[in-house]
Amino acid sequence: MTTPQHDLVVFGATSFVGQILTRYLAEQFSGQAETLRWAIAGRSEAKLNELKRSLGAAGAALPVIVADAANEAQLRALCAQTRVVVSTVGPYALYGEPLVKVCAESGTDYCDLTGETQWIKRMIEKYEATAQQSGARIVHCCGFDSVPSDMGVYFLQQQAMQQWGTPATHVKMRVKTLKGGASGGTVASLINVVQEAAANPALRKALANPYALCPNGHGFTARQHSTRGAAFDTDFDAWIAPFVMAAINERVVHRSNALSGNAYGNQFTYDEAVITGSGLQGRLRAVTMVAGLGAFMVGIVIKPTRLLMERFLLPKPGEGPSPAAQLAGRYDIRFFARTDDGKTLRVKVTGDRDPGYGSTGKMLGQAAASLALDHIKDGIKTGRPGGFWTPATMFDDRFIARLTRHAGLRFERL
């Protein structure tokens, strides 16, 4: 077997997030202590070369690979050249399957930033046995959904074990601060999920299951709370509203529990929501947020309304927050944990860029780098065997260290 010449290939490098990721990797691995042999890939050689030129000296020797997301032969040739692929080509439900299939068959490690629950479920069902046989480690959800949530619970449970010798059975995540914008790609992914669910009752039922991504026979039966309206949370002494990313994050955290041998307990509960404030103002903000979210979801389902929204209100594919807006963004999420006998613990996770782009690009870059550098030594894979993993089960304290040192995240006990 030929030894791959690259540690990592960025697939979809000219997409909105792909460009952020490419520039981040160029900054991180140009003359730094760590050496990463990497390349950029996509369907347009002209656009790839334009991106390469924009990197200046850091991009001068950067290899370019031409491959279309729908061309399996080109994807196989790409995978033969690398140990790890990181993909930003979404909506993944429309464009992502061929690459996952080829990676699973070829034994190539893979990560992405999808938050599309229905697609992840399909990929696990179709390709997990193949990945287990080939040795490919597939890690979805390596952006804002779901690294802060999944690694935040991982960090919290470490604190619980150190202090009490037992995991926290009940955990809540609440978004305290969230400043950032949306890109056309993210909006397109959300629209696709809602449209699929609206047309498929069986899919709606599956997506409503908090254990939708857990392996068959997981055995979890604990009733999970879901924030669907304005509510008052006594543990945070504040009003809360639904968090749009809870739909993927909660399911990823439960899959992490299952894949780690029920490390959080058989009766583990977890839910997410947004803090809107205290008093009457907090309540009004929660009610307004619920109404706005509901109107948006209804608007997506009704075709004439959706077309108007896409034309006049929503960002188009390739569009997103400006570099200045990404720099000005930030987030602060809080976790509250309780054991069955009443002991409590609080931690927080913060990020120094807008969550969906500036911070996601850095998280995704460090996830890919960790796969390539921490979990492959001298060409031999270490740690987890082949299969579909979550961030908290594929990665470990080395990933938290990377996020803290190089990605602007902080994991802190309160």
User: Given a cut of 60, is residue 61 above it in pLDDT?
Assistant: yes
Q: Is the peptide bond before 183 cis (omega within 30 degrees of 0)?
A: no
pLDDT digits (tens, 9 = 90+) for 275-317: 999 999 999 999 999 998 888 777 777 788 877 877 777 777 6
User: Given a cut of 80, is residue 185 above it in pLDDT?
Assistant: no
* Cα–Cα dist 67/115, whole Å: 23
Closest CA to 334 of 113, 170, 142, 156: 156
Residue 413 lies in a domain: no
Residue 200's pLDDT is 80
pTM score: 0.94
Q: If you count them, how many residues does the chain have?
A: 414
Decide if 134 contacts 105 (C-beta within 8 A).
yes
User: Given a cut of 90, is residue 162 above it in pLDDT?
Assistant: yes
User: Given a cut of 60, is residue 183 above it in pLDDT?
Assistant: no
The DSSP output letter for 29 is T
User: Given a cut of 60, is residue 233 above it in pLDDT?
Assistant: yes
Instruction: Please check whether residues 240 and 325 belong to one and the same domain.
Output: yes
Residue 322's pLDDT is 78
Instruction: Give the residue-averaged pLDDT of 44-59.
Output: 95
Exposure string of 23-43, with b = 16+ CB inside 10 Å and e = fewer, is bbbbebbeeeeeebebbbbbb
Instruction: Please check whether residues 207 and 259 belong to one and the same domain.
Output: yes
Query: From the CB of residue 176, how many other CB atoms can be counted at a distance below 10 Å?
Result: 14
Looking up tokens 């690459």 gives 99
Instruction: Please check whether residues 252 and 378 belong to one and the same domain.
Output: no
Instruction: Please check whether residues 85 and 232 belong to one and the same domain.
Output: no
Instruction: Give the residue-averaged pLDDT of 3-23.
Output: 95
More confident residue, 360 or 295: 360
Written as six digits, the tokens of 17 are 């997030």
Instruction: Give the residue-averaged pLDDT of 48-64.
Output: 94
Q: Angle, nearest 10°, between helix axes 279-301 and 184-199? A: 70
* Cα–Cα dist 32/29, whole Å: 5
Range scoring the smallest mean pLDDT among 191-195, 286-290, 366-370, 405-409: 191-195
What pairing do the DSSP bridges indicate for beta strands 231-233 and 344-351? unpaired
E strand map for 221-339: 231-233, 238-241, 269-277, 330-338
Q: Is 64 helix (H, G, I), strand (E, B) or coil?
A: strand
pLDDT digits (tens, 9 = 90+) for 78-105: 999 999 999 999 889 999 999 999 999 9
More confident residue, 203 or 252: 252
Q: Which CATH number characterizes residue 55's domain?
A: 3.40.50.720
Model confidence at 4, pLDDT cuts 50, 70, 90, reads very high
Residue 191's pLDDT is 76
Instruction: Give the residue-averaged pLDDT of 215-226.
Output: 94
Instruction: Please check whether residues 45 and 60 belong to one and the same domain.
Output: yes
Residue 240 lies in a domain: yes
Residue 298's pLDDT is 77
Domain range for residue 316?
Answer: 147-354
* Residue 248, amino acid: I
The number of folded domains in the chain is 2
pLDDT digits (tens, 9 = 90+) for 251-276: 999 999 999 999 999 999 999 999 99
Model confidence at 349, pLDDT cuts 50, 70, 90, reads very high
The DSSP output letter for 185 is H
Written as six digits, the tokens of 87 are 């993909």
Residue 126: CA count within 13 A, CB half-sphere: 14
Range scoring the smallest mean pLDDT among 16-30, 177-191, 226-240, 321-335: 177-191
Decide if 41 contacts 62 (C-beta within 8 A).
no
Q: Under the phi-then-psi rule, with left for phi > 0, alpha for psi from -120 to 50, and beta for the rest, what region is 106?
A: alpha
Instruction: Please check whether residues 90 and 218 belong to one and the same domain.
Output: no
The pLDDT > 90 percentage for the chain reads 76
Residue 20's pLDDT is 95
Instruction: Please check whether residues 268 and 369 belong to one and the same domain.
Output: no
Instruction: Give the residue-averaged pLDDT of 209-238.
Output: 95
Instruction: Please check whether residues 111 and 155 belong to one and the same domain.
Output: no
Written as six digits, the tokens of 155 are 């960090």
Instruction: Please check whether residues 107 and 236 belong to one and the same domain.
Output: no
Residue 32's pLDDT is 67
Instruction: Please check whether residues 364 and 382 belong to one and the same domain.
Output: yes
